[in-house]
Structure 1
Amino acid sequence: MVIGQRTPIVPAESLQRDLENAIEGQVRFDRHNRMLYSTDASLYQVEPIGVVIPASVDDAVEAIRVCARAGVPILPRGGGTSLAGQCTNRAVVIDFSPNCRRVLEVNAAARTARVEPGVTVDELNDHLTSLDGAASGLFFAPDPATSRHANIGGCIGNNAAGARSIRYGRTSESLLALDVCLANGTRARFEKGAALHHPDARALTQAVCDAVARHAAAIRERFPKTVRRNAGFGLDMILHAMERGGWRSGAVSTEHLAEVNLAHLVCGSEGTLAVTLGAELTLHPKPAAKGLAVVGFDSLDAAIERVVPILATNPSAIELLDDTVIDLARANTEYRRYVELMPRPVGGELKAVLYVEYFGENGDEIARSFDSLRRTVAGESMEAHTNAAAMLNAWKLRKAGEPLLHGIPGHRKPLTFIEDNAVPVENLSAFVTQLRKIVTQHGTTAAYYAHASVGVLHVRPLIDLHDERDRERLRSIAVAAADLARSLGGVMSGEHGDGRVRTPLLERFFGPELMGAFREVKRLFDPADLLNPGNIVDLTGHNPRPLGSITQNLRVDAGFDARPTTPPPPAPSPETYFDYTDQHGFDGAVELCNGAGVCRKKQGGAMCPSYMATLDERHCTRGRGNALRLAITGQFDGEGRGGLQPNWSDPGTIETLDLCLSCKACKTECPSNVDIARLKAEYTAQRYRERGAPLAARVMGVVRMLNRLGSALAPIANWASTFGPTRAAMNAILGIHPDRSIPRFAASLAHDWRPASGTGRPRPVPEAATPRVALFGDCFTMFNEPGIGLATRRVYEAFGYGVDLANAGCCGRAKISLGLLPQAILEIDDTLERLRPFIEGRHVEAILVAEPSCLSAIKDDWLALKLRTPIALRRRLAEKAFLPEHFLDARWDQHPRRPTLGQPGETVLLHAHCHQKALWGAETSAAILKRVGHAQLRVLDSGCCGMAGSFGYSKGRYDLSMRIGELSLFPALRASPGAIVCAPGTSCRHQIHDGVGARAIHPIELLERLLPA
């Protein structure tokens, strides 16, 4: 049962029709879309009635009015990153994030901005930076860890704060006014003094203040005095405003309303009082100078004990990470580099770090702050940074703390249910000491991190929700932690809100009188209880909420007809093609997605290209992860399969996965390392096992055979690919878009390779023979771009190597990406057998792979597929395999010879391949170019090019492919028309050709140009 759930007055079909007739935006009532909005970043899953994606805020108002007339609950939603379950409900979800994201006005003189609710914190701040004049020196100060994908509307709903709240406060402190829609569809504007000028606002403000006056004594007594508090409704803020207006007791007159701003009451109300349509925000001047110190400690207690003394040095932030997060980051491909920057405690192991940030007027002031900090933490290791890039890198690890925790192996996971306790900072050490005892007494452990400067600690106990004993632990720990926080003058939630996880504890914390006051206020705003019902207060009679409801509507229970306290039986695991032992099976790999929504960022990095182009929840990593989880547990099939049988042919899941480019960015950029490319390949292979693969996929999968044939018949094949009738036939059979060019074929690289170098196995060589490398003959270097292979040979011979051509077969990349895994496994095992002499050859220093997607297959997928080839041989190959340009740089001081190279002077734009960026970084191509003197090299932050192998050929995906290219790559290339364009990936070079008409070259070809003639 969903607490607060009611039966809508009208059938869903009628409601859907009314909404479609009323609005311009999208109305999605199919089960697939409903289920993708059934979760957030919390423990919970509740299937909504439907989803509305308004085209504008006016559209959203019309949708609210339709729902209000029908008596249907409404749930406004932004990024869906809530940790307490407040974004899940049996309601019509209104998603503001795709279209309601404009910055409406910036007033630099007044230091204000007006925005729509769907703009993210980082988008607003990036927009301010891009403006001319004084506006570029302003910023919106609240900085939650989710700032790249947290919507301003969500920050208002949750009263978000972030690391620098010690200086700038919470969102409510930066909120001047709200434009809202009330539950009945009436629009209103809440701002300071509104009650004096607007009759509608006056009536509501008067009623709220009368309620606050009746309960003033309880508010003064029971509301916590912590800097950070976000539990219940903010009646204390209204009381303080009344007092500033002169009220002390008795009746509330109009004069007492002058300072009251109902926007501050709506802020933090989790969408239960009004729907935010727009906000007027206070902006702050950017600090003239910044500094960040990272202090390492050998124990968590030692770190926490230093917080109060450090506060005396006037920092702008103090953030804490414990060794649980640090160890997880050390094991993460993307984040381990940031751990290496951390100081090591003197004579001890790194167990905790404090990030201590300072703002100042100039560098001298920052230096004095660092000196003061060094004296305060004397005896501890400390690294101080003033370089912007170094500070950004340091902060990246702190911001990834929460999602990183989901990478913990095992069935117990660090869950969000006591993760937001806040106490007066002077009581933080006592709180941690006693809370650790509580956690230990319950037979588990926890991770600790967060905003130490304001006494907010994000504690994540490890709990297995499939274990009934752990569910009881969860409820018991939640009660004990709430009682402990209250006993120390704190509160259950400092910033994450109440939602489903803490609402059942509110009456225990605030007492019956204040809960009654909360219900009074709720009825004033929303008498029909339509807005996110059941969160914070419940008007349906469940008062107080039973503690057992904390473990109701869990996502692990969804789809099962089971008592709330009975964990469901595990779904049967299929026989998979990849090995998921480390993730406890395929279902465990899918469940790594915790809903944090990092994949919903709209700029920077490569993840997730299809989301950046569509802004559609279905097409982000989280949407795909949810779709996979729901499909393999049978939940898209309704009641029929009861969650026991995986559905490998769910149409919605197939459509969602179809727009995944398999770029592998999520494998690295997602802090939980959810590898959707691999999961997509597995799911598709399981579907083909049941139903067979389509012709187009089977044809595209034999790319080596096609390229070899095209190479053998190059003149004819190249003519046929441009001749109208034959090209039309190709388009029809393979589903190729008519505007996509077909790669040109060339004579095989093997034909031009010197016989002395061999075309297969290496020749026996004596002990003192010239060191050798082998070039892996990938499908494109062999048959489409042999010049890359010849350039590799020439460069390596100039560096003193003998070069062999390992024409061993295909890496299987095309088949893997297309889900043809049985065929890929057979092909890869054959290729490995032919590569064995090069792998085991004593004098073969490296196996060079010019195509990054082939190298990623060898170094990543080959190690995870269930092959017959021993894993030891595959690992040896992975250690020996390099991009040709990377090996040159990595062994720079060990090459047999160092040729004289020319001095480059051209501007070079380097676009790295997605797999390369995800698994090894763009520096694997850039480093050698910098080393040899390309001072004008610019590594583009260009995300994915949009081609992704066969993806960009498809008729149905061509337009999206080009839109992805237009996000950043194409504009960057057009902005530098005279530059040399360098791209290691064949798909990238192809996309650049089709997108901007430029010829891109491989980095090894650029190096060849520097050799003597």
Structure 2
Amino acid sequence: RERLQSLYRSNAAEIRKRQPRTMRNVAGYNLNRIGPGAEALARLLVGSEGTLAFFSKLRLGLAELPRKRVLGLCHFPDLIQALDSVQHLVSLDPSAVELVDSNVLTLAAGIPDFRSTIARFVHGTPGALLLVEFSSPDSGAELERELGHLDGLMTQIGYPSSVTSAITLAEQAAVWNVRKAGLNIVMSMAGHRKPISFIEDCAVPLEHLAEYAMEVNAIFRRHGTDGTWYAHASVGCLHVRPALNLRDPEDIALVRRIAEETHEVVRRFGGTHSGEHGDGILRSEFLPAMVGEQVTRVYREVKDTLDPLGILNPGKIVDAPKMDEPSLFRFHPQYDEQRAEEVLPTVLSWEPGGLLGATERCNNNGACRKTDPGIMCPSFRATRQEQHSTRGRANALRLALSGQLGDSGLDSPEMVEAMSLCISCKGCARECPAGVDMSRMKIEWQHRRNRITGIPFRERLLAALPRIAPKVSRLSRLLNLASHIPGRRLLGLAPERRLPRWAGQAWRDQELKSVVPPAKSGAEQGSIEITADSTKPQVALFVDTFSRWFEPEIPRAARDLLEASGADVIPLRSGPGERPLCCGRTYLSAGMVDEAIHEAERLVNAARKMTSGDIKIVGLEPSCLYTLKDEIPALLDNTEANRLSELSLTLEDYLDQAWEDGRTISFNNQAYEGPDGKPLRILRHGHCHQKAFGGVPAADRMLARLPGVEVTAIESGCCGMAGAFGYHAEHYATSMAIGELDLLPQVRAAEDDIQIIADGTSCRAQIADGTGRNATHAAILLAKGLAT
């Protein structure tokens, strides 16, 4: 302590002189925290990046969460005018002012998950938006007044009628999702150049924001590139990423030039190159230029005082390497790009760069290591091990594909273990800021492994369910009895699991009004005729394997609901004499891509009438429906498959759209009364694929339209069953551990009269096995109250 205080006294004037005039700064060490009157050695360690000490215990001061928020979207013609306005908008004391530039807005408008949000809240084609939030701990606060003041100030500074408002929590969440997904969105830009982070943490005083942006954009133009901007504008911290190709030696040389020129602009405006992310390898070498040689020597002495052996995270803040040292680059001289396609020939359609390029999208941001409820990444949340995170798997595949794990990297026991716990929830495709899609990568890896080692009998048996179901379903009673006989462990199935029960009366397409038997008695077996009602909108019902053979009450409820919405329901079915259609999901889960392609081709061929006639296709099981939307286009890569994807939607999505179009459904009030005449309470769990593709809001809206019901969402990630995964004996414990993270405790805690809703067949099975409670598909509950 005395040594540190002496260091401060000897250098106090220079330390004060070099302190940036910004609201955020984490460059170097917090030397101002060891001065007289401000001494707080714990705060000296904050932001030291593990170079001075490690923490065994932390005590944090918590702030109360706001109970009410409103959001105003301020439109500006260009980036510079938006940034110049920040200094005025902060006078209203908002809780946040965030920047979204035109690159993000343009790209977001082309992404299905964000298209409706952009259309609803963004007017015209602004050059930038400022998202201005007001909040209060008082749930009764009249924050709408603040939006009025915001609109008035915007008019005063020259931008009348340029504010749109998001009042409800759902509206605000939709807008914030676009901002939070900013990095993911800009990483989707076409071409080899991608936004690269090395000057993304600069902060300057608010009065210089616009000038700073003008000069940085001039630097980009001078070097033949451009950048993407998003920022914590209210505190002057701008996350700007120039677009560069780090495989191109000329672009690699630009990294240093752009960094040095940008840092010079930052220094001139009294800012810092490290607003909140830290110095690390990228910025530590520039500390002498930013804070001066004298303060840099103080950093060295602080380091020597607290870490005399130099063993704590060396090479950061002091003794840093050059930021463009070739060995530090991901694409170093030994990086073998040509090897990837040789060791793992791909079968799915990938964007330029192939599978290796897809793994390279991982920028190690660590979002997949979060532990709060969400889709990504359930196996990491259960195990807390890096190899079971999306990042761990993506890096392992990248290292193996580029030859850095040797010849056996793809087949090592460690790789097998890491990939085995990926349950293909698709959460990473939605939540990963860099857009890593591990579910697709696992298909490629598993397909290759199948070719090399063969396909185990258990996987063949489970995957073949769609093909064997039409034959064995005739023995449904016997199969249901046999499911209780011991011996499942011989197949590698968990004895703790209850197997699905076969239905006594499976779904038949003839149960639709549009389906009539052929007029000729000698017609081919299975032949039917479809009648069309030209007065009604036509919709095709796709009944998946699980709903058809195990829970036919779901397609029967869906039929009734679709008809109640005024639709003419026709079947998406196979040809005469053929077995029912299948999406190929079970085969994909086992890496049996050839079989999945066959099923996909059958389905696409059968859907030609729909795809050529713009007939919507409604699915019931989320994992199957989203296979139509996601994997089948990647498997077949043709126009028909892409059109199938565009036309396919969940039952709730279709009903919700019909409702908005005026085709409402009449429900019987008494059907939804709970005990003692009280409103029925519903606890809803969303399937991972529903959440990953944005299908949950429509389900919630339809449930909320039931008279008198109270709908509550279960704040949960994956249920843990994940199709066949949870039935595997070796995965049973992990499956249950994932379920115990969020879902199962909340279901157990629910009162007996609360109705549990879960659209996924795996989710319902996990809830039954883990809690003894029965969950219901939303279609069953919705159809229960159809007015007759």
Do the two structures share a fold, i.e. TM-score over 0.5? yes
1:708 is aligned to: 470
Q: Out of 411-420 and 620-629, give the one that drifted further.
A: 620-629
Residues in 2 aligned to 1:514 and 1:800: alpha-carbon distance in whole angstroms: 74
* 1:533–1:361 Cα change, 3 Å: closer
Report SS of the residue matched to 2:126. Answer: coil
1:518 is aligned to: 299
Q: CA deviation at 1:757?
A: 3.7
Whether contact under 8 Å (2:206, 2:234) holds in the other structure is: yes
Whether contact under 8 Å (2:379, 2:421) holds in the other structure is: yes
Report SS of the residue matched to 1:306. Answer: helix
Task: Write out aligned runs for 1:589-668 (5 A).
Answer: 589-637=358-406, 647-668=409-430
Q: CA deviation at 1:943?
A: 2.3
2:521 is aligned to: none
1:376 is aligned to: 153
1:3-39 CA distance string (max 9 Å, x none)? xxxxxxxxxxxxxxxxxxxxxxxxxxxxxxxxxxxxx
Task: Write out aligned runs for 1:605-1004 (5 A).
Answer: 605-637=374-406, 647-724=409-486, 728=487, 730-733=488-491, 735-747=492-504, 749=506, 753-754=510-511, 757=516, 763=529, 765=531, 768=534, 773-797=539-563, 799=566, 801=568, 803-804=570-571, 806-807=573-574, 808-837=580-609, 839=611, 845-866=615-636, 871-892=638-659, 901=668, 903=670, 904-905=672-673, 906-933=680-707, 935-974=709-748, 975-1004=750-779
What is the root-mean-square deviation in Å for CA atoms of aligned residues? 3.0
Q: CA deviation at 1:969?
A: 2.0
* 1:281–1:879 Cα change, 3 Å: closer
Q: CA deviation at 1:500?
A: 0.3
Residues in 2 aligned to 1:327 and 1:752: alpha-carbon distance in whole angstroms: 43
> Which segments of 5 or more consecutive residues in structure 1 lack a partner in the other structure?
1-204, 245-258, 562-566
Picking from 343, 348, 351, the partner of 1:578 is 348
1:564 is aligned to: none
Picking from 86, 96, 113, the partner of 1:317 is 96
1:3 is aligned to: none
Q: CA deviation at 1:815?
A: 0.7
Q: Out of 455-464 and 789-798, give the one that drifted further.
A: 789-798
Q: CA deviation at 1:336?
A: 4.3
Report SS of the residue matched to 2:405. Answer: helix
1:7 is aligned to: none
Aligned length: 758
Task: Write out aligned runs for 1:163-202 (5 A).
Answer: none
1:24 is aligned to: none
Q: Is 1:556–2:331 an aligned residue pair?
A: yes
Amino acid at match of 2:687: H
Residues in 2 aligned to 1:208 and 1:861: alpha-carbon distance in whole angstroms: 60
Q: CA deviation at 1:963?
A: 1.9
> Which structure has the highest helix share of the two?
2
Residues in 1 aligned to 2:282 and 2:625: alpha-carbon distance in whole angstroms: 45
Q: CA deviation at 1:274?
A: 1.1
Q: What is the aligned-residue identity percentage?
A: 37
Q: CA deviation at 1:275?
A: 1.0
Whether contact under 8 Å (2:426, 2:692) holds in the other structure is: yes
* 1:712–1:469 Cα change, 3 Å: same
Q: CA deviation at 1:437?
A: 0.8
Residues in 2 aligned to 1:635 and 1:653: alpha-carbon distance in whole angstroms: 13
Picking from 529, 533, 538, the partner of 2:314 is 533
* 1:873–1:314 Cα change, 3 Å: closer
Report SS of the residue matched to 1:457. Answer: strand
Whether contact under 8 Å (1:757, 1:802) holds in the other structure is: no
Residues in 2 aligned to 1:1009 and 1:632: alpha-carbon distance in whole angstroms: 53
1:144-178 CA distance string (max 9 Å, x none)? xxxxxxxxxxxxxxxxxxxxxxxxxxxxxxxxxxx
Whether contact under 8 Å (2:202, 2:237) holds in the other structure is: yes
1:431-462 CA distance string (max 9 Å, x none)? 11111111111111111121222322111111
Q: CA deviation at 1:303?
A: 0.3
Amino acid at match of 1:578: L
Report SS of the residue matched to 2:730. Answer: coil
Q: CA deviation at 1:953?
A: 0.2
Residues in 1 aligned to 2:17 and 2:569: alpha-carbon distance in whole angstroms: 82
Residues in 2 aligned to 1:493 and 1:304: alpha-carbon distance in whole angstroms: 19
Residues in 2 aligned to 1:500 and 1:888: alpha-carbon distance in whole angstroms: 53
> Which segments of 5 or more consecutive residues in structure 2 lack a partner in the other structure?
518-524, 575-579, 674-679
Residues in 1 aligned to 2:663 and 2:311: alpha-carbon distance in whole angstroms: 75
Whether contact under 8 Å (1:597, 1:622) holds in the other structure is: yes
Report SS of the residue matched to 1:781. Answer: helix
Q: CA deviation at 1:394?
A: 3.5
* 1:474–1:988 Cα change, 3 Å: same
Residues in 2 aligned to 1:368 and 1:950: alpha-carbon distance in whole angstroms: 53
Q: Is 1:352–2:124 an aligned residue pair?
A: no
1:14 is aligned to: none
* 1:472–1:786 Cα change, 3 Å: same
Residues in 2 aligned to 1:1012 and 1:673: alpha-carbon distance in whole angstroms: 45
Task: Write out aligned runs for 1:447-466 (5 A).
Answer: 447-466=228-247
Q: CA deviation at 1:369?
A: 4.2
Q: CA deviation at 1:475?
A: 0.7
Task: Write out aligned runs for 1:153-172 (5 A).
Answer: none
Task: Write out aligned runs for 1:305-454 (5 A).
Answer: 305-344=84-123, 349-359=125-135, 366=143, 369-378=146-155, 379-380=159-160, 381-385=162-166, 387-454=168-235
Residues in 2 aligned to 1:435 and 1:601: alpha-carbon distance in whole angstroms: 34
Q: Is 1:218–2:19 an aligned residue pair?
A: no
Task: Write out aligned runs for 1:225-374 (5 A).
Answer: 225-238=21-34, 241-242=35-36, 244=37, 259-284=38-63, 290-344=69-123, 349-359=125-135, 366=143, 369-374=146-151
1:617-671 CA distance string (max 9 Å, x none)? 222222222222222223223xxx5xxxx84323222211211111112222223
* 1:791–1:213 Cα change, 3 Å: closer
Residues in 2 aligned to 1:329 and 1:761: alpha-carbon distance in whole angstroms: 46
1:469-508 CA distance string (max 9 Å, x none)? 1111001111111112112222211221111011111222
* 1:616–1:970 Cα change, 3 Å: same
Whether contact under 8 Å (1:760, 1:805) holds in the other structure is: no
Q: CA deviation at 1:827?
A: 2.7
Amino acid at match of 1:622: R
* 1:784–1:529 Cα change, 3 Å: same
* TM norm structure 2: 0.89
Residues in 1 aligned to 2:206 and 2:667: alpha-carbon distance in whole angstroms: 63
Amino acid at match of 2:466: R
* 1:790–1:494 Cα change, 3 Å: closer
Residues in 2 aligned to 1:529 and 1:547: alpha-carbon distance in whole angstroms: 20
Residues in 1 aligned to 2:443 and 2:195: alpha-carbon distance in whole angstroms: 28
Q: Is 1:209–2:5 an aligned residue pair?
A: yes
Whether contact under 8 Å (1:407, 1:592) holds in the other structure is: no
Q: CA deviation at 1:524?
A: 0.8
Whether contact under 8 Å (1:704, 1:779) holds in the other structure is: yes
Residues in 2 aligned to 1:800 and 1:212: alpha-carbon distance in whole angstroms: 77
1:40 is aligned to: none
